[in-house]
Amino acid sequence: MEEPYFQKTLETMSRSDLETYQLKGLKKTVRQVYDNVPFYKEKLKALNIHPDDINSLDDVKRLPFTTKDDIRRNYPFGLAAVSLNEIAEIHASSGTTGTPTLGLYTLQDIERWGDMMARCLVMSGLTNKDVFQITPTLGMFTGGFGFFYGGRKVGATIVPASAGFTRRQIQYMLDFGTTMIAAIVSYLLRIAEVAAEMGIDLAKDTKVRKGIVGSEMWTPEMGRRICSIYNMDLYDIYGLTELCGPGVGNDCRIHDGIHLWEDHYIVEVIDPKTGEQIGPEEKGELAFTTIQKDAAPLLRYRTRDLSYLYDSLTCECGRTHRRMAKVQGRVDDMIKVSGVNFWPSQVEAVLMKQPNVGTEYLIYVARKGSADHMTIKVEAKSKMSEEEKKNLAAKLSAELREVLIFTPEVIILAPGELPRTETGKAKRLIDERAI
């Protein structure tokens, strides 16, 4: 079967054409922010850089970084390169840790976002014959609308269900014959639970065979669990509100790395401590320079997401845009317990390997005296005796020790004991030491 593309010429362009395209975009963007955004003009002047000095892609290294704090300090429109009149849409992240970060778009930005989303959706198997159910919120968040704009371009039958009302969502799936679903991972798990309560087997009773998920961190182990519950293929979409929302990149049917749309972004991996650019296959912080954005272009935006770029510039799917490894954690999400640094995802990977463990868990960290104490509460997949619970807890505790070096306490709960969220990301970590 021939590989489907949404924009074949752009998705498969040669490296040299792509680089020519990128340099043109970079020059335009530096000029745009120099002329229209006082924040950038000052920064560039301080570094003695004039837009005419940008002559090669390597010159991106000379440009100043932009941080999330810079975006917050310039809330709401300080980084806009166009007048409010030209801004067609405003979206915002949740802002749970302070001022929300905004996504600003001109009409052209919306078009381009829709194109990137359509590429990601086609890469994930969406066609104009699919019934596509969108479960992320259609509101201030970028998720719902991103899938909506992309799905429309592909010509699929869209069910803009938005978040929550899980029983109703499942009814839509059955009634409309949904074949593909967009969601965050924790919501796919919630749907699975409610479906079980309703006596519905998602794998047998629905036609959902493709899923596209983003926003939350999830391990391949969790992905495999979900694929078997739904009997579907799962795709990983990457994005950030500041860059456009979802749609910055996506994994292809090979499921080996995420293609990043390099005709829209120049991507770098940097050392999070020194800011020095580092090479392919080396892990560091992702930084993006937008090269096709008009409303609020960003230079070297530091994402805090940790990953690495692949050395290889080719892929079996035929796309030439560089791949990155699945994001392995955020600089800010790393926790330190008893002197050991790790990400909650490392715990999830161990838990999900056990077939009799359910998909809900909570990591709880507290200080006891002068020592850190970590408890992991995890639900059993089905009802268990006290004896079975004790044995499973001991097994998990020993396996976690291999990864964490210290031994955490593990408590096995009955199915359904942990609190659930109907909308938004699941809370997997409570760190009492920080409260």
- DSSP strand E in 106-244: where? 131-134, 157-159, 180-183, 210-213, 233-240
**Residue 216 β-bridge partners:** none
Pairing, β 429-431 against β 357-368: parallel
Cα 400 to chain centroid distance, Å, stands at 26
Residues 6+ apart with CB under 8 A from 279: 269
- Residue 290 CB, nearest distance to Zn ion (Å)? 23
- Residue 251 CB, nearest distance to Zn ion (Å)? 8
Q: What angle do CA 84, 86, 91 make, to 5 degrees?
A: 70
- Residue 252 CB, nearest distance to Zn ion (Å)? 3
Nearer to Zn ion, 255 or 389 (CB): 255
Nearer to Zn ion, 153 or 319 (CB): 319
Nearer to Zn ion, 145 or 308 (CB): 308
304: left (phi over 0), alpha (psi -120 to 50) or beta: left
Residues 6+ apart with CB under 8 A from 2: none
Nearer to Zn ion, 252 or 298 (CB): 252
Nearer to Zn ion, 315 or 327 (CB): 315
Pairing, β 245-251 against β 233-240: antiparallel
- Residue 255 CB, nearest distance to Zn ion (Å)? 9
- Residue 256 CB, nearest distance to Zn ion (Å)? 7
- In the numeric block, the tokens 């990301």 are attached to 425
Among 23, 158, 252, 357, binds Zn ion (CB under 5 A): 252
Question: Within positions 116 to 135, which residues make up the interface with Zn ion, using CB under 5 A?
Answer: none
Nearer to Zn ion, 233 or 431 (CB): 233
Cβ atoms of 148 and 138 within 8 Å: the answer is yes
Q: Buried (b) or exposed (e) across 30-48, using 16+ Cβ within 10 A?
A: bebbbebbebbeebbeeee
What's 359's DSSP letter? E
**Cα 109 to Cα 144, 334, 412, distances in angstroms:** 16, 33, 48
- In the numeric block, the tokens 């990457």 are attached to 238
What's the CA gap between 106 and 263, in Å, rounded?
A: 18
Nearer to Zn ion, 313 or 331 (CB): 313
Stretch binding Zn ion (CB under 5 A), from 13-21, 81-89, 152-160, 250-258: 250-258
Cβ atoms of 132 and 158 within 8 Å: the answer is yes
- Residue 259 CB, nearest distance to Zn ion (Å)? 6
Nearer to Zn ion, 125 or 144 (CB): 125
Work out the angle between the directed axes of helices 185-197 and 220-230 (0-180°, nearest 10).
Answer: 30
- Residue 5 CB, nearest distance to Zn ion (Å)? 11
Nearer to Zn ion, 43 or 264 (CB): 264
- Residue 397 CB, nearest distance to Zn ion (Å)? 39
- Residue 321 CB, nearest distance to Zn ion (Å)? 9
Token digits for 157?
């039958």
**In a 3-state reduction of DSSP, which class is residue 389?**
helix
260 touches Zn ion (CB under 5 A): no
What's 163's DSSP letter? S
Nearer to Zn ion, 210 or 319 (CB): 319
Question: Within positions 317 to 376, which residues make up the interface with Zn ion, using CB under 5 A?
Answer: 317, 319
Nearer to Zn ion, 252 or 267 (CB): 252
Q: Which amino acid is at 294?
A: D
Stretch binding Zn ion (CB under 5 A), from 203-211, 249-257, 324-332, 391-399: 249-257
The radius of gyration of the chain from alpha carbons, rounded to an integer in Å, stands at 22
Cβ atoms of 366 and 377 within 8 Å: the answer is no
Stretch binding Zn ion (CB under 5 A), from 32-40, 77-85, 194-202, 245-253: 245-253
- Residue 315 CB, nearest distance to Zn ion (Å)? 3
Using CB under 5 A, count the residues that bind Zn ion.
4
- Residue 303 CB, nearest distance to Zn ion (Å)? 22
Site string for Zn ion, 299-328 (x = CB under 5 A): ----------------x-x-x---------
Contact residues: Zn ion, CB under 5 A: 252, 315, 317, 319
